[in-house]
Structure 1
Amino acid sequence: MTLFLIGGGPTQAVAPVLDEFVAAARGRGNRIAVAILGSEDEAAGFLDAYADPITSRFPEALIEPVWLIEPDDGPIAWPTAPEDLAGLVVAGGWTPGYLDALTPQRELISTLVRRGIPYLGWSAGAMIVGRHAIVGGWRHQGRQVAPEIVGEGSTELDIRDGLALIGPSIETHADSQFLVGRAMAALKVGPMRSVVLIDEDTALVVDASSGRTAVMGPGRVAWVSGEADEFVVRFEPRH
């Protein structure tokens, strides 16, 4: 029951994280689902960036793409017998779109994780796993709390119900996009109790059954908690 939550996109810096994900998946079989936002025509060109790091370590892996399409385009086709998957990868991109597309599969994904299927989330794929997800916005009550580039199509802070695989909310690209201010704003107005900020090229590894966590990669992972105008920032030590 392990989640590998990566603070950015595929790079060599996260090689040890991929090694551990593949090791966890290999013991369960060879079918790896890769969920990526868009139709096959729109997103096929991005699939290799997420599939190659797996197949280079696990040549026997069978990559099964899950094209996360718009609701008007019909139902999303999930792999047959999903309970037999060896691993689930959720790619990066437009966070609100990933959450909207995967919310109808929340119970299925939760069941897979509870059964021990490892989950690998890149950027947006990491941001949606909490009970509540910060999916966009760069202002709160007229005040800028993050760079405009992280708005994801929204101006005001946008907090929604997440996939609820873990309790805390997740922010990725924390160092490069200066997101501590947005995390604090979310804690002040949202229902979450803590926000975890993950740097680029860095992963938070979560044992979903025990709640134990570990940090992998060169960057930092910070836990922000608090209420009203008082906040506590704790940096997760490497193990």
Structure 2
Amino acid sequence: MSIHLLGGGWAEDESRWTGRFVDEARERAGGPPTIAVVLWAADEAEGASWHDDYRTDLQQLGAGEVRIVQLTAERTLLPTDLGGADGIFVGGGLTPGYHAAVMPAADTIRGLVSTGVPYAGFSAGSMIAGDVALLGGWRIGDVPVCPQSSAEGLDDVTLDAGLGLIDLVVDVHAAQHGTLSRAVAIVHAGLAERVVAIDECTSLIIGDGGLEVAGDGSVWTADRDGERVSVGVLAG
């Protein structure tokens, strides 16, 4: 089973970048899988406005029960929320909010993934998946490194402990929101050795076979290369 990191974005047909996650959950379940969808919002009413979209999209891809777990600042993720899940899908929104609410169950998520439960992160869910999570921010040392609109409410680029599912720092909405420059700047500043930035409607799949890209866009890589930063691209 794999880790599926989605760069965000919506489209009519999401099978190319989300379908494999559901297929792996179905394989584990031996039939229509139960997917735990973990969402965060400032309040439950705001979160509820997204429930039908996530449920419909996943069921169209072959999911059985789609169990929505709505988190807020006051309601963090509990280990029991994930009981019986054949797949874990952590959605998108404000990354610092997701980080604070999901990390209390990090050990449970790692344990389930280690037993073969596939994990999918959508935008924020991808950014918190690594050993080190990228929470947001648009400046490093008072130097702008990406559009302020991608700052997630933070000024300085902020990294923190993540879920520990992969050894990559992950950025998202790369081509669409101009975050590749933030990925490069993080490596250049010595904050990480490698960062991947994923386009919308694109997934980076990490499994036993290594890295694979699916979907419409690209995954951009920024790696330390001596005193420089080497930038590469993995096409879907």
**Could you say which residue in structure 1 is the equivalent of 2:153?**
153
Alignment root-mean-square deviation, CA: 2.0
Residues 43-72 of structure 1 deviation map (CA, whole Å, 9 limit, x = unaligned)? 11111221211112326x1111111121xx
Contact kept, 8 Å, 2:188 with 2:228, in 1: the verdict is no
Q: Compute the TM-score of the two structures, normalised by the length of structure 2.
A: 0.90
**Which AA in structure 2 matches 1:94?**
L
Corresponding residue of 2:35: 32
Larger mean CA deviation between 182-191 and 22-31 belongs to 182-191
> Percent of aligned positions with the same letter in both sequences?
32
The equivalent of 1:50 in structure 2 is 54
- Measure how far apart 1:25 and its partner are: 0.9
Which of 220, 223, 229 matches 1:222? 220
Cα distance in 1 for partners of 2:96, 2:110 equals 19
Which of 50, 65, 71 is matched with 1:68 structurally?
71
Change (3 A) 1:11 1:234: same
Q: Residue 19 of structure 1 aligns to which amino acid in structure 2?
A: G
Distance 1:63-1:79 versus aligned 2 partners, 3 A rule: farther
For the structure 1 residues 165 and 182, does the alpha-carbon distance in structure 2 shift closer, same or farther, using more than 3 Å as the test? same
Give ranges in structure 1 of 5+ residues lacking alignment. none
Report deviation, 1:89: 0.7
Consecutive unaligned residues of structure 2, counting only runs of 5 or more, are: none
Offset, 1:24: 0.8
Once the two structures are overlaid, the 10-residue window that deviates more, 104-113 or 21-30, is 21-30
Distance in 2, matches of 1:74 and 1:176, equals 31
Q: Residue by residue, what CA displacement relative to the aligned partner does 1:135-175 show, whole Å, maximum 9, x if unpaired?
A: 11111111110000011111111111111100011110000
Contact 1:10–1:49 under 8 Å retained in 2: no
**Does residue 118 of the first structure (1) align with residue 118 of the second (2)?**
yes
SS at match of 2:50: helix
Matches within 5 A, 1:1-239: 1-12=1-12, 14-29=14-29, 30-38=33-41, 39-58=43-62, 61-70=64-73, 73-74=74-75, 76-77=77-78, 79=80, 82=83, 84-207=84-207, 210=208, 212-226=210-224, 229-238=227-236
- Residue 41 of structure 1, CA deviation: 2.9
Contact 2:217–2:235 under 8 Å retained in 1: no
Is the 8 Å Cα contact of residues 13 and 201 (structure 1) preserved in structure 2? no
> Aligned pair in 2 of structure 1 residues 237, 144: CA closer, same or farther (>3 Å)?
same
| Aligned residue identity for 2:69 | V
> Structure 2 CA distance, aligned partners of 1:160 and 1:191?
11
**What SS does the corresponding residue of 1:146 show, helix, strand or coil?**
coil
Alignment length (residue pairs): 232
Q: CA deviation at 1:179?
A: 1.7
